[in-house]
Amino acid sequence: MKNNQIQVIQGDITRQKVDAIVNAANESLLGGGGVDGAIHSAAGKALELACRKIHDEKGGCKTGEAVITTGGNLPAKFVIHTAGPVWRGGKQQEAELLSCAYSNSLRLAAENGIKTIAFPNISTGIYGFPKEQASKIAVSAVVDFLNNNKTSIEKVIFVCFDQENYELYKELA
Ligand code: AR6
């Protein structure tokens, strides 16, 4: 991994000028609240249609997996949708599934020649994953991926929305 390959910022992921942003979606891919709702509002109809097509053809996206669509009206060219785990107390493989959500998103990005990618803090909103544990899992999944794979990815940005996540990620980065 090169220096400065990972960045932490506080802000709105829909505004990021990167090749791809990651959406903390759900298995249906048919939209929702939180960052998913914000991404769909900003991206518009093309994103909704692309998600519906994957829903109809593949049944959506299983927890821990990832799919890629157009970015529609977003500054980002692509959206990578992943479904993070719902927190159910920690004994239902939540940690492993969260790690997979990050690594499978990166793998799909690399397969598509993506150079810059922004992640939200997957599962730490509506899905209730404890933020400190999630931040450690996210950073180590990204560091492991970058260290173990020679890919197109030049920059990974963690876009934190709330102050608590921002402080946790600043501490780790
Ligand atoms: N930019 C960046 N981060 C954001 C934004 C934004 N515009 N808005 C919220 N966040 P959540 P989850 C942060 O609830 O926990 C949806 O209904 C937020 O502060 O969006 O994975 C889906 O359809 C939090 O830190 O996603 C699923 O059903 C992080 O994004 C479900 O919610 C994730 O919070 C997924 O729940």
Give, using CA atoms, the residue closest to atom 3 of ligand 1. 161
What pTM value is reported for the model?
A: 0.98
What's the confidence (pLDDT) of residue 154? 97
| C-alpha 127 to ligand 1 mean position (Å) | 8
Structure tokens at 99: 């790690």
Domains of the chain: 6-172 (3.40.220.10)
Establish whether 56 is a catalytic residue: no
Q: 81-107 pLDDT, tens per residue?
A: 999 999 999 999 999 999 999 999 999
Cα separation, 54 vs 161, in Å, equals 28
Q: How confident is the model at residue 4 (pLDDT cuts 50, 70, 90)?
A: confident
Catalytic residue, chosen from 12, 19, 36, 144, is 36
Please give the single-letter amino acid code of residue 93. Answer: Q
| C-alpha 161 to ligand 1 mean position (Å) | 9
Of 25, 12, 77, nearest in space to 46 by CA: 77
